[in-house]
Amino acid sequence: MMDSQLLQFLGSLAAVAAVVVLTHFLGFTRGGNISDEAEARTLFQLAPGGFEPVEVALDADRRGAIARDEAGRIAVLMPHGGQFIARALGGDMRCCVEGERLAIEDSALGQKSVALNLGDAAQHWASPVPPAR
């Protein structure tokens, strides 16, 4: 009885390992891409508590995005595996600009930070109150 259960577990474990290796081997390791601004908007709207973006900027590689709503709140899309997660930032956002890259840390992101390649707009998004465009 106990032996057959152990055997079953080991068999399942081997199958799990084989499938994971196969998944890796078949190339299911690429991250996702945001296809366009419209998709970014629908993803931002899924942020917990809701978020209606009025201004959106996509990462140059489409591996993330940043947005501002009417009230001036900031939200980001951060990659998670092949998908994206929308998080509205808490207001204690710390960002630093290095050339065209904007790195963001915030309590709403936990331990993670988000790095976006925003081109010339990096500085624009780094300022807490957006300058009029």
Partner 1 sequence: MDFNPVTYAIPAFVLLIVAELLWSKWRRPEAYESRDTATSLAIGLGSTVAGALTGGAVAALLVWAHAITPLSIGWAWWAWPLCFVLDDLAYYVFHRSAHRVRWFWASHVNHHSSQHYNLSTALRQSWTGFFALSFIFRLPLAFAGFEPGMILVCGGLNLIYQFWIHTEVITRLPRWFEAVMNTPSHHRVHHAVNARYLDRNYAGTFIVWDKMFGTFTSEDDADRIRYGIVHQLGSFNLLKAVFHEWLAIARDVWRAPWRHKLSYLWREPGWSHDGSRETSTMIRERWDQAPQHETHSEGS
Among 3, 49, 71, 99, binds partner 1 (CB under 8 A): 49
Residue 20: both structure tokens together: 């994971």
The continuous run of DSSP H or E covering 94 comes out as strand 94-98
Among residues 71, 84, 81, the alpha carbon closest in space to that of 42 is found at 84
The reply to whether 78 sits near partner 1 by the rule CB under 8 A is yes
- Residue 25 vs 120, nearer CB to partner 1: 25
Name the minimum Å distance from CB 48 to partner 1.
5
The reply to whether 71 sits near partner 1 by the rule CB under 8 A is no
The reply to whether 35 sits near partner 1 by the rule CB under 8 A is no
Among 80, 107, 127, 130, binds partner 1 (CB under 8 A): 80
Whether the CB-CB separation of 47 and 86 falls below 8 Å is answered with yes
The reply to whether 23 sits near partner 1 by the rule CB under 8 A is yes
Q: What are phi and psi of 110, to 5 degrees?
A: 65, -135
Cβ atoms within 10 A of the Cβ of 95, count?
21
Q: How many residues bind partner 1 (CB under 8 A)?
A: 33
The reply to whether 42 sits near partner 1 by the rule CB under 8 A is yes
